[in-house]
Amino acid sequence: MQLLSVASEIYPLIKTGGLADVAGALPGALADHGIAVRTLVPGYPSVLAKLGKAKVVRRYEALFGAPAAVLAAKIEELDLLVLDSPDFFAREGGPYGDMAGGEWPDNWRRFAALSRAGADIAAEGLKGWQPDLVHVHDWQAAMTAAYMRFGPARAIPKVVTIHNLAFQGRFGWDIFASLGLPPEAWSVDGVEYYGGTGYLKAGLVSADAITTVSPTYAEEIRRPADGMGLDGLINGRADRLHGILNGVDTSIWDPATDPLIARRFSARALAGRSANRRALEKRFGLDHDDAPLFIIVSRLTWQKGMDMVAGAVDHLVALGGKLAVLGSGDHPLEGAFLAAADRHRGRVGTQIGYDEPLSHLLQAGGDAILIPSRFEPCGLTQLYGLRYGCVPVVARVGGLADTVIDANEAAVASGAATGVVFAPSDPAALHGALSRAIHLHRDKGQWQAMQRAGMKADFSWTHSAARYAALFRTLVQDAA
Ligand code: ADP
C-alpha cells in the first residue's frame, strides 16, 4: 500500500510538539506492515537546510499566488515531499509564527497551499507513484481532505488525525472565495464553521475516518466540556472515530542506547541513572542530595497545567522536593518559573527554551515527571518518562489516563503501579499528588519497583501501528 501523509511538522527536521514525533515515527512503524509512506511537509528553512540532493517532482507557477515546487528527497529513513514555496515558508521564526510568538497573518494561505498540494498529488500522482490512501494531521493539513472531497481525488480514502482539538485553524468567512473550492463547499457540511472558515472542521466532515491519539481522548472530545465546539460534529461521525495511542520511537528513546544522556542504563541496571541525575543537578544548579527530583519538559501553557505547577512550587519545596523545568510558552509562566528558581536557589532550576538533548537528560536523571494537564490528547513525555524510569505524576485525562497506572494500595501490592495519577486537574489534587509521590519516594524498594514496571511496559509503536494498518487496509478495500 502506498500512503501520502501530510503534516506541518516532522521529527527530526522541524518540531514544536508531539505531532512531529508521530509524523516522524509512524512511517517506519507502518513499513513493517507493508505500507510505504511519503510525507509532504512545508519547506521551512530548517527542512531545506537538511534536504541534500532533492528532485523537483511538481511545479506551480502560482500556488495561492506564489511560485512553488514539490521536492522529493530521502532523509534518514524518511521519504519526503517538500513544498518549497519561499514566499510562504522561508521565514525566520517558528512554523506558525514569528520570534515574538505572534501567528503569521497568512497562515490560512500557507496551510491551504500545503493542503492543496497534497490534494493535487493525490489526484494526479507523481511520476510512477500513486497513493492508495491519504493521511493528514491536524488543522494545518486537514484541508487536504476537503480539497480531495471537492475535487478529482474524491474516491481515494482520506484519514484525518486529531493531535489536539484545541487548535482548529479558524479563519474569517471572507477567505473562502480565495480557497479555490466550489461554491457548494460553503455549507455546514463543508468548510463553513460558526460563520467563518474552519480548516479542521472541513477535514473532519470530509474524512472517511477520523483518528485521535488515545482511546480516552476519543471519548472526551464527544462531550461538550472537551469537544471545543466540535463535539456535535464528532458525535455525528462517532462510527468513524478511532482512538489509537501514540507510540514511542524506541530508536530515539531508549536509555540503553541513548547518546544524549550522561550514562546509559536499563531496568536491570538502574544505578546508571545516578550519573544522569548528577549531570542534571549541575546543569540546573541544584543541590546534590537524595531529595526527590521532579522534572518538567513541556510547553508552558494553561493546557499543560503549568500555572498550577507554578503555584505549587513553594509547597513542593516545603515538602522536601526539588524541581528542574525545561520549557517555553506563555511569557508570564516563563517568568513565574524563573522567579521560582530565584526564590529557591539549589532547589528549583529553570531553563527557558527548546532543547532536545536536554529533554533526554531530564528523563534520564529525574525521579518523577510532572504532567498535570487539563486535557491531554495523548502526551508523549509520560511515555518517555516510563521508559526512562522517571515516574510520571499525571492528571487523569486523555492519554495520560490510558498509559499510567496509579500507585494505589492494590496496584503497589501487585507490582502494577507505574506512577501517580490524580483527579480532578486542580491545585488541591496536584498538591495531594505531590505529597503522595514524595511519600512513595521514601521507600526506595517500592520506588524502584514502580520505575521497573514502567520501563517494562511496552509503549513502542508495535501495537498502534498494527491498528493504523488495519484501519487503512479496511478503508482501501472498501474504496476498491
Ligand atoms: P504537545 O505535543 O502537546 O506539546 P506531547 O507530550 O505530545 O505534548 O509532546 C511534546 C514533545 O515535545 C515531546 O517530545 C517533548 O519531549 C518535547 N518538548 C516539549 N517541550 C520541550 C522543550 N522545551 N525542549 C525539548 N523538548 C520539548
Is it the case that residue 146 has pLDDT exceeding 80?
Answer: yes
d(C-alpha 464, C-alpha 248), whole Å: 10
* 154 within 8 A of 148, measured Cβ to Cβ: yes
Quick one: pLDDT at residue 52?
86
Q: Is the pLDDT of residue 367 over 90?
A: yes
96 and 221 inside one domain: yes
- What strands lie across the sheet with 368-371, from one edge to the other? 348-352, 322-329, 293-300, 368-371, 391-395, 420-422
CA-to-CA separations, 46 to 6, 13, 28, 89, in angstroms, rounded: 17, 6, 22, 10
Average pLDDT score, the chain: 97
Domains: count for the chain: 2
Q: Which residues, 6 or more positions from 268, have their beta carbon under 8 angstroms from its beta carbon?
A: none
- Partners of 164 in beta bridges: none
Q: Output the CA 360–ligand 1 centroid distance in Å.
A: 11
CATH code, 353: 3.40.50.2000
Asked whether residue 253 is domain-assigned, the answer is: no
Give dist(CA 455, CA 386) in Å, integer. Answer: 5
Strand order in the sheet with 78-84: 55-63, 66-75, 78-84, 36-42, 2-6, 133-137, 158-162, 209-212, 241-243
* pLDDT higher than threshold 90 for residue 76: no
- Residue 113 shares a structural domain with residue 182: yes
Q: Note whether 10 and 141 are same-domain residues.
A: yes
Where residue 100 falls among pLDDT bands split at 50, 70, 90? confident
Rounded Cα–Cα distance for residues 98 and 120 (Å): 29
Q: Does some domain include residue 382?
A: yes
Q: Please check whether residues 237 and 312 belong to one and the same domain.
A: no
State the pLDDT confidence band at 151, using cuts at 50, 70 and 90: very high
Tell whether 168 and 196 lie within a shared domain: yes
Q: Give buried/exposed letters for 130-141 (b at 16+ CB in 10 A, else e).
A: ebbbbbbbbbbb
Ligand 1 atom with minimal separation from the 304 CA? 3
3-class DSSP assignment, residue 378 = coil
326 CA to centre of ligand 1 in angstroms: 10
Determine the distance separating the centroid of ligand 1 and the alpha carbon of 261, expressed in angstroms.
17
The DSSP bridge partners found for residue 459 are none
Q: What is the DSSP letter of 301?
A: S
Whether residue 129 lies inside any domain: the answer is: yes
The answer to whether residues 221 and 326 belong to one domain is no
Please check whether residues 23 and 168 belong to one and the same domain: yes
297 C-beta closer than 6 A to ligand 1: yes
Minimal CA–CA distance to 7: which of 160, 126, 198, 205?
A: 160
Give a yes or no: residue 78 inside a domain: yes
Does residue 263 sit within a domain?
A: no
Which pLDDT score is estimated for 99? 81
d(CA 16, ligand 1 centre) in Å: 7
Q: What is the mean pLDDT of residues 30-52?
A: 96
User: What tens digit of pLDDT does each residue of 244-285 get?
Assistant: 999 999 999 999 999 999 999 999 999 999 999 999 999 999
Name the residue of 212, 250, 283, 299 to mutate for ligand 1: max ligand atoms within 8 A of Cβ: 299
Say if residue 6's pLDDT is above 90.
yes
Grid cell, residue 336, equals 513565574
Pocket residue to mutate for ligand 1, from 21, 300, 355, 386, most atoms within 8 A of Cβ: 21
User: From the DSSP assignment, how many helices (H) and strands (E) are in the chain?
Assistant: 19, 18
Can you give the residue range of the structural domain that contains 441?
270-456
Give residue 354 CA to ligand 1 midpoint distance, Å.
Answer: 9
- 157-196 per-position pLDDT tens digit: 999 999 999 999 999 999 999 999 999 999 999 999 999 9
Sign of CA dihedral 284, 289, 291, 293: positive
Q: Are residues 324 and 433 in the same domain?
A: yes
**From the CB of 12, is ligand 1 less than 6 Å away?**
no
Which residues share a beta bridge with 198?
A: 170
Does residue 259 sit in helix, strand or coil? coil
pLDDT at 296: 98
How far, in Å, CA of 408 to CA of 403, rounded? 15
**Domain shared by 277 and 376, yes or no:** yes
- Using the atom order of ligand 1, give the atom closest to the CA of residue 298: 20
pLDDT in tens, 223-243: 999 999 999 999 999 999 999
Evaluate whether residue 236 is within a structural domain: yes
262 lies in some domain = no
Question: Is residue 287 a contact partner of residue 281, using CB atoms and an 8 Å limit?
Answer: yes
Distance (Å, whole) CA 303 – CA 306: 8
**At which residue does the C-alpha cell 520501563 appear?**
455
What's the chain's length in residues? 480
Is residue 18 predicted with pLDDT exceeding 80? yes
Instruction: State whether the beta carbon of 167 lies less than 6 angstroms from ligand 1.
Output: no
Judgement on whether residues 242 and 296 belong to the same structural domain of the protein: no
On whether both 17 and 126 belong to a single domain, the answer is yes
pTM over 0.85: yes
- Which stretch of DSSP H or E encloses residue 61? strand 55-63
Do 193 and 279 reside in the same domain of the chain? Answer: no
**Where would I find the beta strands (DSSP E) of 147-266?**
158-162, 170-171, 192-193, 196-198, 209-212, 241-243
Cα 19 to ligand 1 centre (Å): 9
